[in-house]
Structure 1
Amino acid sequence: MKGFLISFEGIDGSGKSTQARKLYEFLKEEGYEVSLYRDPGSTPLAEQIRELIINYAMDPITELLLFESARSSLVWEKIFPDLTSGKIVIVDRFIDSTTAYQGYGREINLGTVSILNHIATRGRKPDLTFILNLPLELALHRLKEQKTKFEEPNYLKRVRDGYLQIFYSEKERDIRLIDASRSEEEVFEEIKTITLGKLKVL
């Protein structure tokens, strides 16, 4: 089987990291060769860049370039080798996060973001993307004990709207909009069913 790339997307509090981990563990138990990475992160260089992004105040363009640098490292060092060897690769955030957070959220030119996404990934897009869709009020409730620079309400609303725009506009891709307001198990059952259906036709 050729490699298969799955990305999990959604605003903070949507449960995407939990669902990515659950799918990884399920597929491993089913006997698939599977890897799980986080973007930014999962290589020594990308993890250092992640710390810079989290801990330093910076302008939106610098932030965008750091995200893309971390992604380039992840794609080249981890994702491409795994896909070449035929693995399923699950990534917690990928290009759509940058489009939603830096493009729609930080209001950077979407064309610029698209070009940089293409450069960092060498043009590789996910084979399947799950966008965990959550009402803003529920996301903020889940995040009330966390405080990061990515959780200001107006900014997060632009990000959520951006994800919806990606879903409705990029019809050439297989993007699934998942109702993340349900229980963790209900969400996972839908994700599991969709994923197994895709893998069976490969």
Structure 2
Amino acid sequence: MRKGLHIAFSGVDGAGKSTQAARVARYLDERGRSSFRFENKSEYALQVMKTAALRNGVVDGRSYFGNELFDFAKSIEVVRDHFTLIEPIINSGVDVVVPRSIICRIALARAFGLSDANFIRNVYDLTPPPDVIFWLDISGRVAAERVEKRGVDKEDPDFLEIFSFCLKEELGRTDTKVIKINAGENENDVWEMIEAELENLILEGSDARI
């Protein structure tokens, strides 16, 4: 049986990862391929940590437990989800699209102040890499403006710049195929760039997985 593709996205908040991931999944379905967009929103351990923090008068789990423990708990959840959910789906022949790559999570942990990223890299390295990472590159200022326009929350542009710097470094460390996309363009222009790369990826994947 042909394995599905594993497609991941990286980028700061506001870069359009979830939006473009949804378009990729829809595009794959329209091409006659089965796809599944996986976005972990449960994070049970982190919710437990947040509840424990609140009971002790602290508003969030990261502040109460510290970066190392918080990001370690998150890495365990992500690895568990990969082997129990993502990998079986890929092995069944379904393409999996992940809006936030593991590299994105490592960079975010560094941006929050994790002193030794190897602490969680060693955990995340247990998972096989995706077939490709679409890097939606955008300035922190533009990304923060987009987040604010959503009307749900706000992001500090200076923090997003730090996040972007860490992300660039982490992507430079990986052997995974990374396709850099200028996410400062409008949504449809960004999609056209991704779509063109998807055509090649599908052809490469078909040849490699026969």
Q: Which residue identity lines up with residue 36 of structure 1 in the other structure?
A: R
Aligned counterparts of 1:101 and 1:19: Cα–Cα separation in 2: 20
Indicate the residue corresponding to 1:60 in structure 2: 67
Aligned counterparts of 1:166 and 1:30: Cα–Cα separation in 2: 32
Aligned counterparts of 1:26 and 1:52: Cα–Cα separation in 2: 37
Aligned counterparts of 1:168 and 1:73: Cα–Cα separation in 2: 25
Aligned counterparts of 1:183 and 1:37: Cα–Cα separation in 2: 24
2:192 is the counterpart of 1:189: yes
Shift of 1:198: 1.1
Change (3 A) 1:75 1:123: closer
2:106 is the counterpart of 1:102: no
Q: Which residue identity lines up with residue 162 of structure 1 in the other structure?
A: C
Shift of 1:12: 0.6
TM-score, with structure 2 as normaliser: 0.81
Q: Can you list the C-alpha shifts for 1:72-123, whole angstroms capped at 9, x where unaligned?
A: 23212210111111221111112112221013442331222210212xxx33
2:142 is the counterpart of 1:135: no
Q: Which residue identity lines up with residue 12 of structure 2 in the other structure?
A: I
Shift of 1:47: 4.4
2:20 is the counterpart of 1:19: yes
Q: Can you list the C-alpha shifts for 1:133-169, whole angstroms capped at 9, x where unaligned?
A: 1111111111224436xx3333322110112223334
Map 1:114-125 → 2, pairs under 5 A: 114-118=121-125, 122-125=126-129
Indicate the residue corresponding to 1:48 in structure 2: 44
Aligned-residue Cα RMSD (Å) equals 2.1
Q: Rg larger in 1 or in 2?
A: 2
Please tell me whether the aligned partners of residues 67 and 112 of structure 2 are also in contact (alpha carbons under 8 angstroms). no
2:153 is the counterpart of 1:147: yes
Aligned counterparts of 2:49 and 2:115: Cα–Cα separation in 1: 17
- SS class of match (1:165): helix
- Within the candidate set 74, 79, 86, 1:79 is matched to 86
Aligned counterparts of 1:141 and 1:53: Cα–Cα separation in 2: 30
Please tell me whether the aligned partners of residues 6 and 97 of structure 2 are also in contact (alpha carbons under 8 angstroms). yes
Tell me the percent identity.
21
Aligned counterparts of 1:185 and 1:81: Cα–Cα separation in 2: 32
Instruction: Structure 1: give runs of 5+ residues left out of the alignment.
Output: none
Q: Can you list the C-alpha shifts for 1:31-88, whole angstroms capped at 9, x where unaligned?
A: 10111101x33xxxx4434655787342212320232132123212210111111221
Aligned counterparts of 2:85 and 2:128: Cα–Cα separation in 1: 13
Indicate the residue corresponding to 1:91 in structure 2: 98
2:175 is the counterpart of 1:168: no
Q: Which residue identity lines up with residue 61 of structure 1 in the other structure?
A: E
User: Number of matched residues?
Assistant: 191
